[in-house]
Amino acid sequence: MKLLIAGGRGLLGNNILPILNNHFDTISLDIEEWDITDRDAGKSIIEQYRPDVLLNLAAMTDVDGCEDRRELAQKVNEEGAGIVAELCREYKIRLVHISTDYVFDGEKTSPYTEDDVPNPKSVYGMTKLSGEKRVIEKHPSPLIMRAQWLYGNGGENFITKVVRIAKERGVVEVVDDQRGTPTYAKDIGEPLKRLIEKAKTGIYHITNSGSCTWFEFAGEIFSQLKLDVQLKPTTSLKLNRKAKRPAYSVFDCTKVQRETGITMRTWQEALQEYLG
């Protein structure tokens, strides 16, 4: 099966590519070769590679940056997603699209299921939700997978950032009023592969299991690394970042577990492998 990936050199792409490569004839491209907002470029890429399945990982993911560059966020996360979906329909290609927990407002206190109604609070979340809607409108049977709190190999992430600050300053302040599930990006590879093999469609939530706040996550990182750091809790209000984040975005992942037979390991176990 030929799998074409857009936005493949980002965090998620880098971490799941080895898994997908083992099972599919995979071609991974990024914005230098294929800008998803360019319909003609998309057409010629698809005609060149003729994939069976297209995995769209391309997005503007700088959550605070999206607040300042709303038009660009809309262009990539909404219009680009729509163009990809239209092309897939035209060329009868199966489509897998990736979305986010930021489509929710975070006002729930129990895990979000795929049937919960989204209500994004940030430009990033709004444009990602509009992207989902375009995908559903333009493609007859897309698979949409929502992920959250990803980290992995390649580039800076929450873990590398707090460890760097800890080593530089010895004191780290982290918000303690946002709860979710840190997820090792590579852990998404196997369930995604199975859903593709089984030709599943619809929306799926996926994370490692368990939940914590960013403060608790930082505490676990320092504890596993045996780093002696002064870790202080703070609030989103004090931090005053441009984009509003959901206070609670834990996912109910029963559906993906049922359809793939995979039980995701805990976020602490996944972290241990990453740090090791």
Contact between 150 and ligand NAP by CB under 6 A: the answer reads: yes
Contact between 58 and ligand NAP by CB under 6 A: the answer reads: yes
DSSP state, residue 187: G
Q: Which is nearer to ligand NAP, 57 or 192 (CB)?
A: 57
Strand, helix or coil for residue 99:
strand
Helix (H) or strand (E) holding 71: helix 70-73
State the minimum distance, in angstroms, from the CB of residue 6 to ligand NAP.
5
Q: Which is nearer to ligand NAP, 19 or 229 (CB)?
A: 19
State the minimum distance, in angstroms, from the CB of residue 58 to ligand NAP.
3
State the minimum distance, in angstroms, from the CB of residue 258 to ligand NAP.
21
Q: Kindly list the distances between the CA atom of residue 246 and the CA atoms of 55, 89, 238, in Å, as whole numbers in the listed order.
A: 26, 33, 15
Of 8, 3, 64, nearest to 31 (Cα)?
8
The binder of ligand NAP chosen from 19, 55, 59, 163 (CB under 6 A): 59
The binder of ligand NAP chosen from 30, 86, 252, 269 (CB under 6 A): 30
Euclidean distance between CA atoms 196 and 94, whole angstroms: 9
Stretches 53-61, 85-93, 136-144, 258-266: which one binds ligand NAP (CB under 6 A)? Answer: 53-61
The binder of ligand NAP chosen from 3, 5, 12, 175 (CB under 6 A): 12
State the minimum distance, in angstroms, from the CB of residue 16 to ligand NAP.
9
Euclidean distance between CA atoms 148 and 208, whole angstroms: 9
CA angle 175, 180, 183 (to 5 degrees): 110
Burial readout 142-152 (b: 16 or more C-beta within 10 A, e: otherwise): bbbbbbbbbbb
Contact between 249 and ligand NAP by CB under 6 A: the answer reads: no
Contact between 7 and ligand NAP by CB under 6 A: the answer reads: yes
The sign of the CA dihedral 78, 188, 198, 103 is negative
Q: Which is nearer to ligand NAP, 132 or 176 (CB)?
A: 132
Identity at 158, one-letter amino acid code: F
Contact between 11 and ligand NAP by CB under 6 A: the answer reads: yes
DSSP state, residue 116: S
Strand, helix or coil for residue 272:
helix
Q: Give the pair of three-digit tokens for residue 204.
A: 């799926």
Active site residue 124: yes
Stretches 5-13, 103-111, 202-210, 232-240: which one binds ligand NAP (CB under 6 A)? Answer: 5-13
| Residue list 106-135, contact with ligand NAP (CB under 6 A) | 128
Residues designated catalytic: 124
Interaction site with ligand NAP (CB under 6 A):
6-7, 9-13, 30-31, 34-37, 57-61, 76, 80, 98, 100, 128, 147-150
